[in-house]
Structure 1
């Protein structure tokens, strides 16, 4: 296994919510900054880490295809160009719906559910109600929140996000992000048709072993890998017929 793969395996072993950096990975595993950086970038592509403004890079739960219509709080921060005011330990959590808190707190109680996002203005009563009902909060208009609300958000590990956009704009931005994810679900990716455990040959294998594998698997082409499982070539049935 290469150092690059070792780093990704290490990142996968971390608990969701763990903060990582190039320096911490390089120090922990004894690899170069370049190796750590490339592994973190690939981990982001794999969907197992994400970078949050003013927070850093954190380990997140990979969203499977069946959950592609949901977002994490961390993704919402990026979508609405927001700032995290509190509850940073919950940015990896997934939210399944959102409501606009343009009503009295008494009326809001009927709609707030666990893991939903409540979009409100500078209304502390509505912000507190959302947190007490296990919902995150998105404050529009660029407003902040009181220290009491920040403490409650930190205690319950529920993010408080502030965005300079108005309520209608942030709701539209979140809806668009969800819709784009749903559209992506219909696109056929390489991973949809690839084999997870492909049959391959080592550069040190004999022709006899190749023939044996070919009789068992009956593939037309076979990749050839070196001692570190890096592809160094490919052989086909045509090559065998020339021997």
Structure 2
């Protein structure tokens, strides 16, 4: 069984102490508790200073944690395997009974969701009265017919499809049969060889010989000469006639339009609102690439698991990652004043009046008897030097200074020399390629006949975003074509000023963007005041306009 994940995270707009403390403490917990998986994370973009530190000590940049609200990926996902749209109705029903489910997801070879088949669809296919051409209209594969009738192929290609003609039962005299069987018909027949040959001569597409009767070589040879499929079934004529419609592919009955599905990253609170308005019992889940991954039911939402987190370098709600009140806080390690954060139950809370969280974490390494590697020593030392301004800050204590000197020796760095390089380090998007910038926070969406992508690039100043815009604009058309999108939108989001400059590519992108916000159309881009959320402020507006076209 996979270990539960515990996210170790600092405050929003993280400084060097916040990032390094998360990494060092996650490492300590991993050495002292093997029942959980401790992962360091960050609650915002790292600074130039922190980037320098991580690069210097060859530490990976922690993954971004924007929100700890309970998501679909935190609930129990039923890994019901997706089925092909060519699956027979009978096979679908049997799978539902075995899996004890009422819904099967229908996917293509690339795991893209094509539809849903539910027990009600199957019941409808059994109960409704259809004419004798329905099997052909459904483009039923002969392999489905063989499987449904527990039959075997005697002549012809089982991978072919019955696409023309009608289904008839060949009864009566040879003359009667000759008058009833037409070209491309599928004929259910007994053991009368003369009648079988008449059907083949009439260029039927398939004959099904019932009751397991032997089929002569003359019939088989005649069938092969005319490319007629011959199937033998152990069922009698009545049973065969009753069962054969169950061989139709589920694509003829499945729901294709207006499918209600959710993404792994969707938040449970939002999902509950949607699910409460829908009568379905089960819902499909898609991943970040819009591939099918599993199903969940209403009951699963009631048993959602809260994310477990450890907070370092802060203890105030305003500084914590979004929706911290929905998470289960296990520990808090901090050196600031006690703030407003509340927990449901008692937690391990270590707060000391020191200049840096890194100092506290080093003490905990010593208390637990865990070796401090040069990498961990370097990270904790850098955090202390940063927070105490190389011991010049009034918050610095003798404990901080002596700890930093010990750690510097382990990391084999000169305190003054390293600190000077660290403070001189600059940070922007210069170290990332244009492709990396565009893809770092990119998602694809589908609405109607349109497929469009949205990339969000955030920064703390419009000046930096203007530089990024100049770099990425020449790549937009290329990215749109490579990802096979109808439109591509790029949000250049100014976090401090709470605004987004939206640029785009695609024949209708400018028109749709302008209509979504009742703004004049511009080929270069539009300024969106107060818009910073892709999910809640951009995507719904774009889809509303697209759906009206």
In the TM superposition, residue 159 of structure 1 has moved relative to its aligned partner by 0.5
What does residue 161 of structure 2 align with? 92
Greater shift in the superposed pair: 173-182 or 113-122: 173-182
In the TM superposition, residue 143 of structure 1 has moved relative to its aligned partner by 1.5
Greater shift in the superposed pair: 200-209 or 119-128: 200-209
What does residue 201 of structure 1 align with? 454
User: Is 1:117 aligned to 2:186, yes or no?
Assistant: yes
Partner SS for 2:452: coil
Mapped to 1, the partners of 2:168 and 2:491 lie a distance apart of 65
Q: Would you say the 8 A contact 2:86–2:251 is kept in 1?
A: no
Q: Would you say the 8 A contact 1:71–1:96 is kept in 2?
A: no
What does residue 160 of structure 1 align with? 230
Mapped to 1, the partners of 2:223 and 2:198 lie a distance apart of 11
Q: Which string of whole-angstrom CA distances, capped at 9 and with x for unpartnered residues, describes residues 167-211 of structure 1?
A: 0001011235559776x16x4545799534411135776535971
In the TM superposition, residue 88 of structure 1 has moved relative to its aligned partner by 2.0
User: Is 1:45 aligned to 2:81, yes or no?
Assistant: no
In the TM superposition, residue 239 of structure 1 has moved relative to its aligned partner by 7.1
Greater shift in the superposed pair: 72-81 or 162-171: 72-81
User: Is 1:236 aligned to 2:535, yes or no?
Assistant: yes
Q: Would you say the 8 A contact 2:141–2:159 is kept in 1?
A: no
In the TM superposition, residue 77 of structure 1 has moved relative to its aligned partner by 1.4
Aligned pairs for 1:51-70 (under 5 A) are 68-70=137-139
Mapped to 1, the partners of 2:85 and 2:249 lie a distance apart of 20
CA distance 1:168–1:46, change in 2 (3 Å) = closer
Q: Would you say the 8 A contact 1:80–1:170 is kept in 2?
A: yes
Greater shift in the superposed pair: 196-205 or 165-174: 196-205
In the TM superposition, residue 103 of structure 1 has moved relative to its aligned partner by 0.8
- Alignment counterpart, residue 511 of structure 2, candidates 195, 216, 219: 216
Structure 1 runs not aligned, ≥5 long: 1-40, 49-66, 221-233
Structure 2 runs not aligned, ≥5 long: 1-80, 88-135, 261-445, 457-471, 477-489, 493-499, 517-532, 540-549
Q: Which string of whole-angstrom CA distances, capped at 9 and with x for unpartnered residues, describes residues 113-148 of structure 1?
A: 112111111111111111111111100001131112
Partner SS for 2:182: coil
Q: Would you say the 8 A contact 2:189–2:208 is kept in 1?
A: yes
Q: Which string of whole-angstrom CA distances, capped at 9 and with x for unpartnered residues, describes residues 208-233 of structure 1?
A: 5971336433498xxxxxxxxxxxxx
4+ runs of 1 displaced by more than 4 Å? 176-182, 190-194, 202-206
Which structure has greater helix proportion?
1
In the TM superposition, residue 100 of structure 1 has moved relative to its aligned partner by 1.1
What does residue 231 of structure 1 align with? none
- Alignment counterpart, residue 171 of structure 1, candidates 241, 265, 268: 241
What does residue 127 of structure 1 align with? 196
TM-score for both structures, normalised by structure 2: 0.26
CA distance 1:47–1:169, change in 2 (3 Å) = closer
Mapped to 2, the partners of 1:90 and 1:176 lie a distance apart of 17
Partner SS for 1:88: coil
What does residue 212 of structure 2 align with? 142
Mapped to 2, the partners of 1:105 and 1:82 lie a distance apart of 25
Q: Would you say the 8 A contact 2:137–2:163 is kept in 1?
A: no
- Alignment counterpart, residue 79 of structure 1, candidates 133, 148, 156: 148
Partner SS for 2:161: coil
CA distance 1:191–1:152, change in 2 (3 Å) = farther
In the TM superposition, residue 92 of structure 1 has moved relative to its aligned partner by 2.8
CA distance 1:201–1:88, change in 2 (3 Å) = same
CA distance 1:210–1:189, change in 2 (3 Å) = farther
TM-score for both structures, normalised by structure 1: 0.55
Mapped to 1, the partners of 2:195 and 2:227 lie a distance apart of 17
Count of residue pairs the alignment pairs up: 166
Partner SS for 1:207: strand
CA distance 1:194–1:122, change in 2 (3 Å) = farther
Bigger-Rg structure (1/2): 2
Partner SS for 1:76: helix
